[in-house]
Amino acid sequence: MPAARLVVDFGLVVLIWLVQLIIYPSFRYMSPEQLAVWHPKYTNLITVIVGPLMLAQVGLVGWELFTRFSWLALISAVLVGLTWVLTVFQAIPLHNQIAAGINLSDTIERLISANWLRTVIWTVIFLLGLVRTG
């Protein structure tokens, strides 16, 4: 299971850095009309990728927590839970505002800014996995 966990964590860390450095900033360069066309496609497609990875991460972290408890596993579980909270209560509402065309410039900047915390957390989760398996 440690290898599967590392693969999933790596997938999420690569994905979040692509989103943070390339995808979200690219929204700045789209007209409201272009964003209205692209954003729903993007959110549907990214959900197909990130959804299974996040679910796999929860399952693998939960399995590890209950079968091979360690403080690193507990810290990872808390951080994974935090990524879910931030996704549900911060990222998704901001995406909903973008989809509705609400104050696009400000909302895009808020999304980029808010997403830094998820980027750092998923990076820490991956680094903890390297420590755990190292």
pLDDT tens digits in sequence order for the chain, 134 residues long? 689 999 999 999 999 999 999 999 999 999 999 999 999 999 999 999 999 999 999 999 999 999 999 999 999 999 999 999 999 999 999 999 999 999 999 999 999 999 999 999 999 999 999 998 87
C-alpha 100/C-alpha 4 separation (Å) is 38
Largest Cα–Cα separation, the chain: 51
Given this model, what pLDDT does residue 109 score?
Answer: 99
Look up the pTM and report it: 0.95
**How many structural domains does the chain have?**
1
C-alpha 120/C-alpha 17 separation (Å) is 9
Given this model, what pLDDT does residue 1 score?
Answer: 66
Task: Name which of 93, 88, 67, 64 is nearest 76 in CA terms.
Answer: 64
| Residue with tokens 């989809």, as numbered in its chain | 99
18: its two tokens: 């692509």
Amino acid present at 96: N
The residue segments making up the domain with residue 62 are 2-133
